């Protein structure tokens, strides 16, 4: 992709920052955010990215006053997750910001809203969730989060149709890789290093379809290509379903650091995806999860990685 004018929210985050940096090589990229982390705005500027202050929770008509309208592509990844427990504020902020951005950029070729697999109603731990599966917005580990994401999905679908703006709603699985904090696997590894418990289900294990940054970055333009006015809703994960406990055990195998797995009522629920639709629309992934995990560890904790057998 080259020569496009691209607007990205959440550009300081785990998901969108590597996308912004990759696209900035051949396109004009703008990022909106609060840039509260010292140095985060400068780091983007050093990659040639234009930044503007924008607070997703500011639903006022002037919130986007400093932002041009002539973007060809939009990636909306910023989120107010609702860590403060305020459902209403999370729904209001995420839904209104999505609608306001779409309205502002209504002449774009494509809009991509990053949603989450956490919108699905829990079935069995290893159920491969399909796009048409029931939703319920229940997550004991962060209750407002999936409710707000369902609300924002609804806003995205409505504005796509009303404005005639081709849109993709991509329900992201676990994104991980060398950038940012490394994603959920590195959160677990940090717990392992600190000797902290990792809550796991009393029987079985949680499953996920982790998506490595290399695939994620490559797939963003492909998700824009399949955007439609009747919004395309698609699961966005890796090709392989991986057990979280298996993932933690793989981290142990690679580093020798033992996890403290503690059976618990409340665990960080994750979801294995049925990847059929995503594969039909944008093709296969390229990164094997064990290789991706080893490369992520090598970037974040090189001193902890044991030599490969025979090396
Ligand atoms: N990471 C995953 O594995 C995963 C899985 C499923 C879905 N998702 C979805 O992917 C998207 C990105 O997640 P992430 O993991 O990259 O998040 P993250 O690393 O926690 O970053 C959050 C981003 O949102 C921005 N943000 C937060 N509050 C904001 C506000 N009030 N106004 C403007 N920007 C705000 C932050 O920018 P500033 O702080 O600079 O404002 C930051 O860039 C989210 O929509 C999330 O629901 C992520």
Q: Residue 311's pLDDT band (boundaries 50, 70, 90)?
A: low
Distance between CA atoms of residues 134 and 149, nearest Å: 15
Residue closest by Cα to atom 36 of ligand 1: 10
Q: Which atom of ligand 1 is nearest to the CA of 12?
A: 43
Gap from CA of 310 to ligand 1 centroid (Å)? 40
Domain ranges of the chain: 5-175+211-236, 181-208+239-273+282-304
Tell me 135's DSSP state: B
Pocket test for ligand 1, best of 31, 35, 77 (most atoms within 8 A of CB): 77
What is the distance, to the nearest Å, from the Cα of residue 29 to the centroid of all Cα atoms in its chain?
19
Q: Which atom of ligand 1 is nearest to the CA of 81?
A: 47
Distance between CA atoms of residues 177 and 185, nearest Å: 9
Per-residue pLDDT at 111 exceeds 70: yes
Q: Which residues contact 311 (CB under 8 A, 6 or more apart)?
A: none
> Is 181-208+239-273+282-304 the same fold as 5-175+211-236?
no
Query: What's the pLDDT score for residue 101?
Result: 98
Distance between CA atoms of residues 302 and 126, nearest Å: 32
| Strand duo 242-243 + 207-208: pairing | antiparallel
Architecture in CATH for domain 5-175+211-236: 3-Layer(aba) Sandwich (3.40)
Q: How many H helices and E strands in the chain?
A: 9, 15
Query: What's the pLDDT score for residue 96?
Result: 98
Gap from CA of 12 to ligand 1 centroid (Å)? 8
What pTM was computed for the model?
0.97
pLDDT digits (tens, 9 = 90+) for 221-275: 999 999 999 999 999 999 999 999 999 999 999 999 999 999 998 888 899 999 9
Question: Left, alpha or beta for 40 (phi > 0: left; psi -120 to 50: alpha)?
Answer: alpha
Using only the alpha carbons of the chain, give its radius of gyration.
19
What is the pLDDT averaged over residues 37-49? 97
* The CATH number fitting domain 181-208+239-273+282-304, selected from 3.40.50.720, 3.90.25.10, 1.20.1250.20, 3.40.50.300: 3.90.25.10
């Amino acid at each position: 992709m080259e020569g496009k004018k691209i607007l990205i929210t959440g550009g300081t985050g785990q998901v969108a920052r590597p996308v912004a940096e990759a696209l900035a090589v051949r396109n004009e990229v703008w990022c909106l955010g609060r840039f509260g982390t010292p140095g985060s705005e400068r780091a983007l500027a050093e990659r040639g990215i234009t930044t503007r202050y924008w607070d997703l929770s500011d639903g006022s008509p002037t919130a986007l006053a400093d932002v041009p309208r002539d973007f060809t592509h939009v990636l909306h990844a910023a989120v107010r997750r609702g860590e403060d427990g305020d459902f209403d504020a999370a729904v209001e902020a995420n839904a209104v910001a999505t609608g306001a951005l779409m309205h502002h950029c209504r002449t774009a070729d494509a809009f991509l809203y990053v949603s989450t697999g956490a919108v699905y109603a829990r079935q069995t731990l290893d159920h491969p969730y399909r796009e048409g599966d029931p939703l319920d917005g229940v997550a004991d580990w962060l209750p407002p989060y999936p409710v707000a994401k369902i609300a924002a999905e609804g806003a995205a679908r409505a504005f796509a149709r009303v404005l005639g703006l081709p849109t993709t709603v991509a329900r992201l699985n676990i994104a991980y890789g060398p950038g940012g904090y490394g994603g959920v696997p590195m959160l677990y590894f940090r717990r392992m290093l600190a000797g902290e418990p990792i809550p796991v289900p009393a029987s079985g294990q949680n499953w996920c379809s982790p998506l490595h940054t290399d695939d994620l970055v490559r797939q963003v333009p492909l998700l824009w290509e399949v955007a439609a006015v009747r919004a395309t809703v698609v699961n966005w994960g890796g090709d392989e379903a991986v057990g979280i406990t298996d993932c933690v055990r793989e981290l142990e195998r690679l580093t020798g650091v033992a996890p403290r797995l503690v059976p618990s009522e409340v665990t960080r629920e994750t979801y294995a995806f049925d990847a059929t639709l995503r594969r039909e629309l944008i093709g296969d992934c390229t990164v094997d999860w064990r290789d991706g995990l080893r490369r992520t560890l090598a970037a974040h904790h090189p001193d902890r990685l044991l030599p490969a057998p025979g090396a």
